[in-house]
A and B are shown apart, each in its own frame.
Chain A
């Protein structure tokens, strides 16, 4: 059950694939079945670029089950370049150093293990954009 769920969400979780509405061009992430703007039910796969900016961030000390291993970690709302707002974890940086407006990019990371014997979920997190010197 959990394995099928992880498999089903792979395109969005590992490749940041969403949908572009063939009717009105609306972009959605993750994928949608029916366009809430125009009612269209046909979509093209849309590959999000995986770059964005932090809108607001929080350092989490008490996590939900399966997320305790990450504590303390940074939970944030970011805005993707394409305008979508996304709830995500910010990684590869001290949570206290995450600032509003910080430019971040998608990375693939371990999100949670479902119990001792369950599958491990890998998916997107966001990390500060690498500066090329």
Chain B
């Protein structure tokens, strides 16, 4: 069964002092509902990674449905770290495929600016292994630093090699009015950026921000002109930061992409663009290799070419990725999906690529131990 994406909406990635978690979720949902025309969803699914831990609204989906004025909707809140958005879309698809519902609203929302930076990083760390990693001070950022260091020494590269990941994201984000950091990043800025944990610097990390993105999923009709979900997969692998750092592999990302492509009846080369998970430059490089866009150790070499630019053979992070658009953790997967839909609809404005037919969208949770992939077309 085809699943259509009948409407999409996002809020600007920013520090929105005047709006709360529930407000931005409803704002994005309102835009998606308006985009879809007159629909009333049977179910509301909300992706959010940190709200409960930050002491914000829990059971968010119920409150979003209430805020939208729905009194009989089935609601679910999905909390799968930075894979929450993708997981919520997959759950919505399952409800539609099962015949339980025809129309489902999916919203990803995160409010990070109410927390101090060290508190935010602590709460983000709770998605890792609590007993052996988070309680010893390990965070996604420190894990990214260790991964970068091991990647550089294993493949005999200089830190500068990671610049190209950030460069591409910022180049694309520079024309995205919804991006939190909409400017190009030059080599000098990258190399001078303050170190968070060697060798990872501020410019290797996606900036946390407030943000919400939403989509209306519908049981597909045969003649639909809407973008459809052609395939999807949600896979997990051994937990913990140690495996990706020491092996320089993301098996869940590889398996998830392979399964989603197979279901879609597509090859990697059929994709017109990809939105991969760039919470830091290390995970971005491993994702490129995991989905098969580069051999192990060769992602950064390929990133030096024009291949991943909007005008290249396989555009990545078409609206700036998490790096330039901003990382709203639980909403990040929804931003990726909405951006890919805009590309496929031809509604991407200055960020539009030519001949956009199919897209692969992948989000990662818990430092790559979970991967959710959607193939759209």
Q: Which residues of A contact B (CB under 8 A)?
A: 9, 12, 30, 55-68, 70, 75-77, 85-89, 100, 111-112, 121, 123
Tell me if B132 and A30 are in contact (CB < 8 A).
Answer: yes
Separation in Å of the B112 CB from the closest CB of chain A?
15
Q: Is the CB of B246 within 8 A of A77?
A: yes
Q: Which residues of A contact B197 (CB under 8 A)?
A: 58-62, 75
Interface status of B141 (Cβ within 8 A of chain A)? yes
What 0/1 readout, one digit per residue, does chain B (88-108) give for beta carbons within 8 Å of chain A? 000000000000000000000
A66 CA to B196 CA, complexed, in Å: 16
Stretch at the interface among B18-26, B145-153, B288-296: B145-153
Q: How many A-B residue pairs have CB under 8 A?
A: 93
Closest CB in chain A relative to B354 CB, distance in Å: 41
Q: Is B119 an interface residue (CB 8 A)?
A: yes
Which one of A61, A62, A77, A111 contacts B245 once the chains associate, using CB atoms below 8 Å? A77
A68, B118: Cβ atoms under 8 Å? yes
In whole angstroms, how far apart are the Cα atoms of A59 and B118 in the complex?
Answer: 17
Smallest Cβ distance from B366 to chain A, in angstroms? 14
User: Cβ of B135: which chain A residues have Cβ within 8 Å of it?
Assistant: 9, 111-112, 121
Q: Which of B119, B199, B240, B245 contacts A65 (CB 8 A)?
A: B119
**Among residues 106 to 139 in chain B, which have CB atoms less than 8 Å away from a CB atom of chain A?**
117-119, 121-122, 125, 131-139
Question: Is the CB–CB distance between A66 and B122 below 8 Å?
Answer: yes
User: 20 other contacts beyond A56-B153, A75-B145, A77-B246, with CB at 8 A cut-off?
Assistant: A9-B131, A30-B131, A30-B132, A56-B146, A56-B150, A57-B149, A59-B195, A60-B137, A60-B145, A61-B195, A64-B121, A64-B139, A65-B121, A65-B122, A66-B122, A75-B137, A77-B242, A87-B242, A88-B136, A112-B137
A130 to B134 CA separation, bound complex (whole angstroms):
28
A-B contacts, 19 of them at CB < 8 A, read A56-B149, A56-B150, A58-B145, A60-B137, A61-B196, A62-B141, A62-B196, A63-B118, A64-B139, A65-B118, A65-B122, A66-B122, A67-B137, A70-B137, A77-B242, A86-B132, A87-B132, A87-B242, A121-B135
**Which one, B118, B138, B139, B242, contacts A85 given CB within 8 A?**
B242
Which of B137, B153, B246 is in CB contact (< 8 Å) with A64? B137
Tell yes or no: B184 within 8 A of A by CB: no
Contacts of B118 in A (CB 8 A): 62-65, 68
Cross-interface CB contact of A87 among B136, B195, B199, cutoff 8 Å:
B136
Is there contact, CB below 8 Å, between A56 and B245?
A: yes
User: Is B142 in contact with chain A by the CB < 8 A criterion?
Assistant: yes
For the complex formed, measure the closest distance between the CB of B100 and the CB atoms of chain A, giving whole angstroms: 33
Cα A58 to Cα B246 with chains together (Å):
14
Q: Which residues of A contact B57 (CB under 8 A)?
A: none
A100: B residues at CB distance < 8 A: 153
In whole angstroms, what is the CA distance A87 to B195 when docked? 20
User: Is the C-beta of B60 less than 8 angstroms from some C-beta in chain A?
Assistant: no
Whole-angstrom distance from the CB of B215 to the nearest CB of chain A?
Answer: 33
What is the CA–CA distance of A89 and B137 in the complex, to the nearest angstrom? Answer: 9
B144's closest neighbor in chain A, by CB? A58
Complexed CA–CA distance, A66 and B133 (Å): 14
Q: Indicate if the CB atoms of A85 and B125 lie closer than 8 Å.
A: no
A-side contacts of B122, CB under 8 Å: 64-66
Task: Given A64-B137, A68-B118, check contact A55 B198 (CB 8 Å).
Answer: no
**Closest CB in chain A relative to B190 CB, distance in Å:** 17
* Separation of A75 and B142 alpha carbons in the complex (Å): 8
Set of chain A residues within 8 Å of B195, measured between Cβ atoms: 59, 61
Contacts of A121 in B (CB 8 A): 135
Contact indicator B131/A85 (Cβ below 8 Å)? no
Name the residue in A30, A62, A86 with the highest tally of chain B Cβ atoms < 10 Å from its Cβ: A62
Contacts of A61 in B (CB 8 A): 194-197
B-side contacts of A57, CB under 8 Å: 146, 149
**Which residues of B lie under 8 Å from residue A123 when comparing CB positions?**
136
CB pair B132–A85 under 8 Å, yes or no, is: no
Q: With a CB–CB cut-off of 8 A, which chain B residues contact A55?
A: 150, 246
> Considering only CB atoms, which chain A residue lies closest to B145 in the complex?
A58
Chain A contacts for B150, CB-based, 8 A: 55-56, 77
Decide if B241 is an interface residue (CB 8 Å cutoff): yes
Are B136 and A58 in contact, CB atoms less than 8 angstroms apart? no
With the chains together, A56 CA to B146 CA distance in Å? 6
Please name the residue on chain B nearest to A8 by beta carbon.
B131
Which residue, B121, B137, B153, B199, has most C-beta atoms of chain A within 10 A? B137
**A108: min CB distance to chain B, Å:** 13
Q: How far is the CB of A27 from chain B (nearest CB, A)?
A: 15
Chain A residue numbers with a CB within 8 Å of B132 are 30, 86-87
Please give, as numbers and ranges, the residues of chain A lying within 8 Å of B119 by CB-CB distance. 65
